[in-house]
Amino acid sequence: MTGTTHPDVPSGITVRRWGAENGDGLVIDVDTHGGPLVHGIGVEPPADASRANGPTWAYVIEDDGVTLIDPGHLGSIDFLADGLNVLGMKPSDVDRMVVTHGHWDHDGGVAEFADASGAEFWAHELWAAYSPYSYGQLLRADKSPLRIEMTRIGERMRDTGPRTYGGSVTKSSGNGEPGNPERKPGGGRDNYEAMRSSMKVDRGLVDGFRHGAIEYLHTPGHWPDEMTIKLGNLIFTGDHVLPEITPHPSMAYSHPTDLSASLPDRYKNPGDVWGLMAYLKSLHRVCQLGKGLTVMPAHRLFNRNQFRMTDERRAVETIAFHLERCDALVRAIEDGYTDLELATRELFSYRPLTGSYHLMSAASETISHVELLEDTGDMVVHDVEDGDGVRLELTGSRNYRDVIGDLIPD
């Protein structure tokens, strides 16, 4: 942020070091009103990762030892270690690292950090169950008509060149600005998947587990192993609740047979951990945790040179957003957009879906809403006669409005 005026700092935040305008390299202390010491580090992504959501925010909690939440991407360890150095720490000072969920911008750095620190690795017990499976394997294993059609959509529109992302490194200016090291190439998704499948979890966490002043809550839906971590009036939400943007809900999945056989009975029903309805129920749970909570998200805590602080009411807003999106999907189908790709493009008409990556992401979110409307009896999905595609049909009811509306607190 050389040459940039530092923004206002909200109550409860102390800046140890300023970073880039998206939060890369920013290091902060968080007031817990006499509770354990809490710090935040904006861990910059490596060169092969998207920069759309800025850094992954890693949080350090000094309570019964040192806990690190979300080490970030594979290939980001130097950025994380640099932030720890600002706090007067080194990786070996960390006793345990916890991941909020199994996405590569959160758990990708686990193996590197374990090697550098000797810290234990804690994750929800579903992390280990799902770790041998890539997203592509789960997608291919599910033979539902919507999943098959999504695959066809992607095949019809493949990018012709490599995915590229904007952004640049901010190097140290020597005057207290971010001291980020040179960007490294990054680990790559293939290396990430190999790491996931080989990494051992030292402690599998379950809903309600407590350690010191920290409570771990299972809040699936964005991903099946997602956790919200509560410490006093702070909630560390991973990708479950984010400022500025609405997290991507997962689609419903049928568990592969071998995976299903390995799961505890409480996770046998995939609808409890996958899909939009599971996500909305988890958001409702956050709404019930109390008032006056401060959200410490994994992304967008700081963006466009401003702190983006929010509270538990952001969970309410996110539920309401998905109700509105269901309304929009119903209107699109009423207007004749009964093909999945056309419905997706209408639903996301405000965004240019010019590449297969963006189109597939939008299609998966559309599918999550279609599935909810199917479950509430408001929509039927038909295979078209030639077996190439699906047709979306409304039943005339609007049960989803009551189902989702009941999750929005008064």
Query: Could you tell me if 83 and 215 lie in one domain?
Result: yes
Domain boundary among 257, 283, 311: 311
DSSP H or E stretch at residue 215? strand 214-218
Domain boundary among 267, 286, 311: 311
Q: Report yes or no on 155 lying in a domain.
A: no
Query: Could you tell me if 239 and 104 lie in one domain?
Result: yes
Q: Report yes or no on 39 lying in a domain.
A: yes
Q: Report yes or no on 121 lying in a domain.
A: yes
Q: Is the pLDDT of residue 269 over 50?
A: yes
Query: Could you tell me if 175 and 255 lie in one domain?
Result: yes
Q: What is the DSSP string of 196-210?
A: HHHPPPSEEE-TTEE
- What's the whole-number mean pLDDT along residues 103-131? 96
Q: Report yes or no on 148 lying in a domain.
A: no
pLDDT digits (tens, 9 = 90+) for 228-264: 999 999 999 999 999 999 999 999 988 888 888 889 9
Query: Residue 371 belongs to a domain with what CATH number?
Result: 1.10.10
Query: Could you tell me if 307 and 328 lie in one domain?
Result: no
Q: Report yes or no on 391 lying in a domain.
A: yes
Domain boundary among 311, 342, 377: 311
Residue 10, helix vs strand vs coil: coil
Which CA distances in Å does 85 have to 16, 18, 51, 88, 91? 11, 14, 24, 5, 9
Q: At what angle do helices 276-287 and 356-375 cross, to 10 degrees?
A: 80
Query: Could you tell me if 353 and 269 lie in one domain?
Result: no
Q: Are 299 and 244 in contact (CB under 8 A)?
A: no
Query: Residue 102 belongs to a domain with what CATH number?
Result: 3.60.15.10
* pLDDT on residue 1: 47
**Eight-state DSSP code of residue 219:** -
Q: Report yes or no on 44 lying in a domain.
A: yes
Query: Could you tell me if 119 and 238 lie in one domain?
Result: yes
Which residues constitute the domain of residue 74? Answer: 13-131+165-311
Taking the CA atoms of 291, 296, 301 and 307 in sequence, report the sign of the dihedral they define: positive
Query: Could you tell me if 327 and 300 lie in one domain?
Result: no
Counting the structural domains of the chain, the total is 2
Query: Could you tell me if 171 and 277 lie in one domain?
Result: yes
pLDDT digits (tens, 9 = 90+) for 328-367: 999 999 999 999 999 999 999 998 888 888 899 999 999 9
